Amino acid sequence: MKEVIKIEGGHRLNGEVSISGAKNATVALIPAAILAENSEVDIYGVPNISDVESLSVLLKELNVSVTSPSSDHFQIDTSNMKNIDLDHEAVTKLRASYYFMGSLLGKYKYVKMQMPGGCYLGPRPFDLHLKGFEALGAEVNYEAGYYEIKADRLIGSKIYLDFQSVGATINIMLAAVLAEGKTMIENAAKEPEIIDVANFLNNMGANIRGAGTSVITIEGVESLTGHPHEIIPDRIEAGTYLIMAVAMADDVTIKNIIPQHIESLISKLIEMGANIEVGMDYARIRRSDDLEAIDITTQTYPGFATDLQQPLTSLLVKAKGSSNIKETIYAERFKHCEELQRMGADITILPSQAIINGPKSLYGSKVEATDLRGGASMVIAGLMADGITEIHEVYHIDRGYHNIDEKLEALGAKMWRETIE
């Protein structure tokens, strides 16, 4: 028995939708919270996604108390925490479980855990995390599917990242905040989620400067104490709903956004001919029928986000002309294109590139959410398509989109879940 999402396409969207806390910040903030010494940490704006459930399981494995006084409020208490080997299946479900490596190494100078899981998007530079730990004085061993990382002392160092990796930047920060002396991360990633994590750590007593620039400096401190934190809005969820609205809205307002975080997407949608009004913390999208083809090249922030490439592909099927997407971050992030072809899209897939010829009408079909953002792409395609689209492997979607069914139904979409054999 498994769950599928069904969408009856063609229904126009109207109303307001509010964006939840950022998934990519949340999955780092929760492991960061365990750096607090014998104290309670309150995190607000936690999205209701399955990745958070997996993180909660791992906290409980470490004997960290987790309670939810309200739906989006997490209370984490580290008073009885123990450093045990992380071999729970939740590790293999969630790539971001690797943030426990940085936190546990920083706090206890020892961590042993399974290889983290998550969506397969082609090679991802995990070795950068390990090189960072080694530069701080840790010894890394990999044996029988487990990483064992240990150090007598962690000592600040200058670390140059070969690639602007968000994961490596955050993980090295987590390990370095309690290290002796100064750590410099050069060619650091600049994503807003990194600033959010740095602000959180600084409020707990860390000394981090330069987050959001290419050089981050960390002066090690002796200990951290819990401090309440509100998570920033999810720029990828915001971008996904913007794309949905451009595809199918009569009049939709997307609230609780930081427009600066999705500037690259907004400018591309306007270039396509979308009717978008941007305010301080909202965007209003009105119907626009004549969309033009555009070219996209994914880049690290503040460039066009790779996580929005897949949702945008579905919209480009509606655009007049030939659109070209070049993927520079994850070369294999085009599995969703094959699913769109099943629905009638005219897409040529090349190495690290896709050419979308439009406009084409999509028709409902059985498709698969090949990964998290590929799942969002299928939802958008389903909203646009003629007939009913049946999406399989929906657990991918639930990993990153808070209450997507309720939010879309409130806007007028017709979607529901069924259990099939």
Q: Kindly state the tokens that stand for 239.
A: 């971008």
Other beta carbons within 10 Å of 32? 30
Is the alpha carbon torsion for 182, 188, 194, 195 positive or negative? positive
Q: Kindly state the tokens that stand for 308.
A: 């929005």
Per DSSP (E only), the strands in 34-109 are 40-44, 65-70, 73-77
Is the alpha carbon torsion for 120, 164, 184, 173 positive or negative? negative
Which of 119, 198, 265, 274 is an active site residue?
119
What is the Cα–Cα distance from 311 to 379, expressed in whole angstroms? 9
Which residues, 6 or more positions from 33, have their beta carbon under 8 angstroms from its beta carbon? 41, 43, 76, 78, 226
Burial of 174 (0-12, 13-18, 19+ CB in 10 A): buried
Q: 112 and 129 in contact (C-beta within 8 Å)?
A: no
What is the Cα–Cα distance from 110 to 91, expressed in whole angstroms? 17
Active site residue 337: no
What is the Cα–Cα distance from 223 to 76, expressed in whole angstroms? 17
Supply the DSSP string of 338-351, one letter for each residue.
HHHHHTT-EEEEET
Other beta carbons within 10 Å of 350? 10
DSSP letter at 70 equals E
Amino acid in the structure at residue 296:
I
In the chain the first and final C-alpha atoms are separated, in Å, by 4
What is the Cα–Cα distance from 162 to 239, expressed in whole angstroms? 28
Amino acid in the structure at residue 241:
Y
Residues serving a catalytic function are 119
